[in-house]
Amino acid sequence: MPLTIQCDIVSAEGDIFHGEVRMVIASGEMGELGIAPRHAPLITRLRPGQVRMILDSGEEPLFYVSGGILEVQPKSVTVLADTVIRADDLDEAAAAEAKAHAERILASAADRQEIARAQAELIHALAQLQALQRWRSHHRR
């Protein structure tokens, strides 16, 4: 029987996932993180992107997070995020429109605040589209 670690994903709306996993893969501030049982304790900020888990069954649930915090303790991993969306619930059309909107603003913006907002919108839209693409490629097998 493979080793597992408790994983909890929590958003402002409540508990999103609670269960035993073989591994958690997330987009940390400094790059991709793979958290397996017996990982050293750590706390890091998450970038907008994907959080993926590998379950004992081999299933790989995938979530989009808007950013947040990942905390690793000896027997648990906790993801805290304002927004968490299951990949299969993401709205591709809305994400594509948000990406196009941000690109239009960046092409014409002169104000630093407007540029910063458009860059953040673009980062979130691209992360959602990447999560959808990964989810679709995994579920075509």
Give the pLDDT confidence of 2-17 residue by residue, as tens digits. 699 999 999 988 899 9
The candidate with the shortest Cα–Cα distance to 54, out of 24, 75, 88, is 24
* Predicted local confidence at residue 140, as pLDDT: 62
46 has which bridge partners? Answer: 28, 68
Rounded to whole angstroms, how far apart are CA atoms 41 and 73? 5
3-state secondary structure (DSSP) of residue 109: coil
Instruction: Report residue 1's pLDDT band, with 50, 70 and 90 as the boundaries.
Output: low
Q: Which of 111 and 37 is assigned the larger pLDDT? A: 37
Q: Which pLDDT does position 43 carry in this prediction? A: 95
Joined tokens for residue 96: 């594509």
Q: How confident is the model at residue 42 (pLDDT cuts 50, 70, 90)?
A: very high
Residue 21 makes CB contacts below 8 A (sequence gap 6+) with: 4, 5, 6, 7, 53, 54, 55, 56, 77
Q: Which residue has the higher pLDDT, 19 or 138?
A: 19
Dihedral angle sign, alpha carbons of residues 126, 132, 87, 75: negative
- Contact (CB, 8 A) for 8 and 76: yes
pLDDT at 141: 53
Q: Is the pLDDT of residue 64 over 60?
A: yes
d(CA 96, CA 4): 36
| The two three-digit tokens of residue 109, written as one number | 């913006």
Looking at residue 139, its pLDDT comes to 67
**What CA–CA distances, in Å, run from 69 to 36, 82, 90?**
17, 10, 21
Whether the pLDDT of residue 71 is over 90: the answer is: yes
